[in-house]
């Protein structure tokens, strides 16, 4: 199947399975991801596909997400047990393969890691992680206009700002921190420090 014809089908499925607000957000992420792909020379169709599918499991009950994980041997950690909404990324990546016929591992990883991130993300994974945070429909986060600008100037700086602001937010609401969220922050803290140092040494 041609990549872009699958994309049209996926868009229709998302319109049916997501609630209207989540569908609006999804379109925002898909188009923002495509714009970032233009900026950074990444495959636009891949970016749009990953954006279109990233929250495909978001409007499913917690019971159903847990049932899918148990049925298909997808590991659920303690934090995910306590905060089952986190599972929408793992379940979403599974559905992307099984239900939406997407087999590109970079797209699957971008869906899988879109909530917590992971150390050493690919360009596409960073694009989806960032697009999710900055898409035009997002309103609550602090520093949004600065991060939106930064996203088109330096992807890693934008990523690091989002990771830091997310930890501050989770601390303020006393949310449990997934070990992967912390690992991702620690990795990019060191990564950014090295990158900034290299820049000033030039």
Min dist. Cβ of residue 22 to Fe ion (A): 8
The closest of 24, 27, 17 to 51, measured between CA atoms, is: 27
The answer to whether residue 42 forms part of the interface with Fe ion (CB under 5 A) is no
Q: Which of 127, 130, 132, 151 binds ligand DGI (CB under 6 A)?
A: 132
**End-to-end Cα distance, the chain:** 47
Binding segment (CB under 6 A) for ligand DGI, from list 70-78, 142-150, 152-160, 169-177: 169-177
The answer to whether residue 55 forms part of the interface with Fe ion (CB under 5 A) is yes
List, in order, residues 6 or more apart from 24 with CB less than 8 Å away: 137
Binding mask 58-77 for ligand DGI (x = CB under 6 A): x-------------------
Q: Which of 6, 13, 17, 83 binds ligand DGI (CB under 6 A)?
A: 83
The answer to whether residue 181 forms part of the interface with ligand DGI (CB under 6 A) is yes
Token digits for 200? 């000033």
Chosen from ligand DGI, Fe ion, none, partner binding at 84 (C-beta under 5 to 8 Å by type): none
DSSP 124-183: HHHHHHHHHHHSTT---STTHHHHHHHHTT-HHHHHHHHHHHHHHHHHHTTPPPPHHHHH
- For ligand DGI, give the closer residue by CB, 97 or 170: 170
The closest of 110, 118, 150 to 134, measured between CA atoms, is: 150
Q: Which residue has the tokens 């599972």?
A: 87
Taken in order 187, 181, 136, 110, is the CA torsion positive or negative?
positive
- DSSP secondary structure letter of residue 103: -
Could you say which residues in the range 149-168 bind ligand DGI, by CB under 6 A?
166
Min dist. Cβ of residue 36 to ligand DGI (A): 16
Min dist. Cβ of residue 129 to ligand DGI (A): 8
Chosen from Fe ion, ligand DGI, none, partner binding at 113 (C-beta under 5 to 8 Å by type): none
| Cα 79–chain centre separation | 18
Count of positions on this chain that bind ligand DGI (CB under 6 A): 15
**Residues at the contact surface with ligand DGI, assessed by CB under 6 A:** 25, 55, 58, 83, 114-116, 132, 166, 170, 175-178, 181
């Amino acid at each position: 199947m041609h990549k872009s014809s699958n994309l049209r089908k996926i868009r229709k499925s998302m319109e049916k399975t997501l609630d209207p607000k989540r569908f609006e957000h999804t379109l925002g992420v898909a188009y923002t991801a495509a714009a970032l792909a233009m900026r950074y020379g990444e495959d636009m169709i891949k970016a749009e596909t990953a954006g279109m599918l990233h929250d495909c499991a978001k409007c499913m009950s917690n019971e159903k997400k847990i049932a899918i994980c148990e049925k298909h041997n997808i590991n659920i950690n303690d934090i995910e047990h306590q905060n089952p909404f986190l599972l929408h990324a793992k379940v979403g990546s599974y559905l992307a393969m099984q239900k939406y016929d997407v087999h590109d591992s970079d797209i699957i990883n971008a869906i899988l890691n879109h909530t917590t991130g992971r150390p050493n993300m690919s360009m596409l994974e960073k694009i989806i992680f960032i697009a999710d945070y900055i898409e035009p429909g997002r309103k609550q986060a602090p520093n949004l206009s600065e991060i939106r600008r930064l996203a088109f100037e330096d992807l890693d700086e934008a990523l690091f700002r989002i990771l830091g602001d997310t930890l501050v937010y989770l601390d303020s609401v006393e949310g449990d921190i997934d070990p992967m969220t912390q690992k991702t922050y620690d990795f990019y803290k060191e990564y950014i420090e090295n990158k900034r140092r290299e820049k000033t040494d030039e």
